[in-house]
A and B are shown apart, each in its own frame.
Chain A
């Protein structure tokens, strides 16, 4: 009895481990293959192998010597600006939509939700006119503006839901303590919603970092280009050569900051911050 129970538990553990390994392999293999390709010498590139046949940093050197560094800087600037702006704006919007009763609040919420569902390609032409009209074509400002329009509805929607979860009495206690709306947001809502704010900020940052279609359409020069476009436009020695090594090296380079960012902020995304607010 006892032995068979232990056996069954061990079997179950092994099965669970195998499943976990399969999922991990499926998720991580593309990244691993990019890594392998990026360090494979050019001559060996078309011998598909799991372990690099040779070892070189030539692709990294090539990529980092070109205009690619500028693209990384642009991407970081744009993504950081969009993340900061959309979190700040969405926080205000979320507070208002969750707590301040006004006519048409429900309609506004529905509009926000449906706007966040629009496919990018559907708004591309209109957005192009907007960007041109504002004189932002081929500038990072065009990207910040268009990404904000892309990210803000979703961020506001999510933060509205988060803000609703804050007990109303906390806000009323703040009102009795003499705090106005801005102070209530800063001293009560921000600390309590921090996990949500960090998660939304990261999500928006990654979306902006990865965005391709708007970046391709609204920028023209190397100086204003962001990472995804820069990678797509990497070219080899001739029109008939795709520089796989360089592309993979660039892909690895732009993945690392995102991973670092996620790890750095991971400890802020903890739940349970509301424990002890109400009840005994």
Chain B
């Protein structure tokens, strides 16, 4: 076990810079999830740590040792590929033993390790089979087994659940969380699925276009996104964004005018804003609630109603909203129908204010 430190990691393919000065420290035994849209460089970062690609600039340290010049097997890392990359001509046992036999472990030790890993992952009965005779879920476990059997200092998991169907994915996610508690291995986990990221991460790293947008505990990132990109990336349905202008700005509160003239207050520190500045307001769907006309702030006709069973999502036509629609998560039993006019309100602290560059205003100072 060891910690992993990245300093100024940069990767360019020709003129295209895929990663631009990434700094990150993963503590010993920590599970850090890299999340971002496709093409943000998260898989490239994993490949750099694994030693499959060479970095253009920067340093990678594992357990305090510089590894960027070392070949993959000397770095003490194990990687699980998105496609699993199982050797099709080898049995599960041989696949798991291959790395150990290359490293010249003796036969008894190899056998013991493979069987221990197989027991842990409940694939012991499959040891004699070839990948072609396994189901998708079983292949996923074997790929995981091949990684853990080598007892690496750092685990690299590249979208480990993306090839599973939805039900299996949810179950495997739980098992991965449990496995991490058992092994307590330093883990870098790449995914584009924000739900996976939120639920598995001890710390979350949001990447965009080769740069880190925000690092933090999942809930902290969810509740206090540093900018509009992070705010929109986490959460489903995504956060509502409404264009507005600042009416009055202070350190404890920002009052904004929506395009239809309604005044909306946000609990944010607007010390850097001036009256008349264009801003974007962000409100998560679960923070919107039905309101009496007296304190209602957002009004509009319902365009679409989606009922998922545990919630009812009402899409309102609101001027200034992104795509012209604003979604509210309401009580599943609500009897709202398309065409109804709704009045919604949100608590002061649940309204995020992003300036013209998309940067979030800091939280409000206590009055």
Q: How many residues of B contact A (CB 8 A)?
A: 35
Asked if B163 and A280 make an inter-chain contact with CB atoms under 8 angstroms apart, the answer reads yes
- How far, in Å, is A102 (CB) from chain B's closest CB? 15
| A169 interface neighbour in B81, B150, B164, Cβ under 8 Å | B81
Given A167-B83, A169-B81, also A280-B102 (CB < 8 A): no
Given A273-B88, A280-B137, also A177-B83 (CB < 8 A): no
Given A175-B72, A279-B163, A280-B136, also A167-B85 (CB < 8 A): yes
B243 within 8 A of A: no
Within 8 A of B (CB), among A222-278: 273-278
Asked if A178 and B87 make an inter-chain contact with CB atoms under 8 angstroms apart, the answer reads no
Given contacts A179-B98, A276-B133, A278-B86, 6 further A-B contacts (CB under 8 A): A169-B85, A173-B87, A177-B73, A192-B89, A276-B86, A277-B131
Within 8 A of A (CB), among B76-125: 77-79, 81, 83-89, 98-99, 102-103
- How far, in Å, is A53 (CB) from chain B's closest CB? 55
Question: What's the Cα separation between A276 and B126 when bound, in Å?
Answer: 14
A61 within 8 A of B: no
Within 8 A of B (CB), among A122-178: 167, 169-170, 172-178
B134: which A residues are within 8 A, CB to CB? Answer: 276
Within 8 A of A (CB), among B1-50: 50
Within 8 A of B (CB), among A165-211: 167, 169-170, 172-179, 183, 187-188, 191-192
Which of B's residues lie within 8 Å of A, judged by CB? Answer: 50-52, 71-73, 77-79, 81, 83-89, 98-99, 102-103, 130-137, 139-140, 146, 150, 163-164
A276: which B residues are within 8 A, CB to CB? Answer: 86, 88, 130-134, 139
A187: which B residues are within 8 A, CB to CB? Answer: 87, 98
A273: which B residues are within 8 A, CB to CB? Answer: 88-89
Asked if A170 and B85 make an inter-chain contact with CB atoms under 8 angstroms apart, the answer reads yes
B83: which A residues are within 8 A, CB to CB? Answer: 167, 169, 277-279
B98: which A residues are within 8 A, CB to CB? Answer: 174, 177, 179, 187
A275 (CB) vs chain B CBs: closest residue:
B132
Asked if B99 and A172 make an inter-chain contact with CB atoms under 8 angstroms apart, the answer reads no
Q: List 7 tightest A-B contacts by C-beta distance, closest first.
A: A280-B136, A178-B73, A276-B132, A276-B131, A177-B99, A169-B85, A278-B83
Question: What's the Cα separation between A139 and B62 when bound, in Å?
Answer: 60
Question: What's the Cα separation between A167 and B150 when bound, in Å?
Answer: 23
Asked if A280 and B87 make an inter-chain contact with CB atoms under 8 angstroms apart, the answer reads no
Given A176-B50, A176-B79, A280-B135, also A274-B102 (CB < 8 A): no
Asked if A277 and B52 make an inter-chain contact with CB atoms under 8 angstroms apart, the answer reads no
Asked if B85 and A280 make an inter-chain contact with CB atoms under 8 angstroms apart, the answer reads no
Given A175-B71, A176-B77, also A277-B87 (CB < 8 A): yes
Question: What's the Cα separation between A254 and B198 when bound, in Å?
Answer: 71
Question: What's the Cα separation between A178 and B98 when bound, in Å?
Answer: 9
Q: Mark A72-97, 1 if CB is under 8 A from B, else 0.
A: 00000000000000000000000000
Question: What's the Cα separation between A175 and B99 when bound, in Å?
Answer: 9
| A274 interface neighbour in B88, B146, B164, Cβ under 8 Å | B88
A277 (CB) vs chain B CBs: closest residue:
B88
Asked if A177 and B102 make an inter-chain contact with CB atoms under 8 angstroms apart, the answer reads yes
A278: which B residues are within 8 A, CB to CB? Answer: 81, 83-86
A173: which B residues are within 8 A, CB to CB? Answer: 79, 81, 85-87, 146
Asked if B87 and A170 make an inter-chain contact with CB atoms under 8 angstroms apart, the answer reads yes
A274 (CB) vs chain B CBs: closest residue:
B88
Asked if B72 and A176 make an inter-chain contact with CB atoms under 8 angstroms apart, the answer reads yes
Asked if A188 and B84 make an inter-chain contact with CB atoms under 8 angstroms apart, the answer reads no
| B84 interface neighbour in A175, A176, A177, A279, Cβ under 8 Å | A279
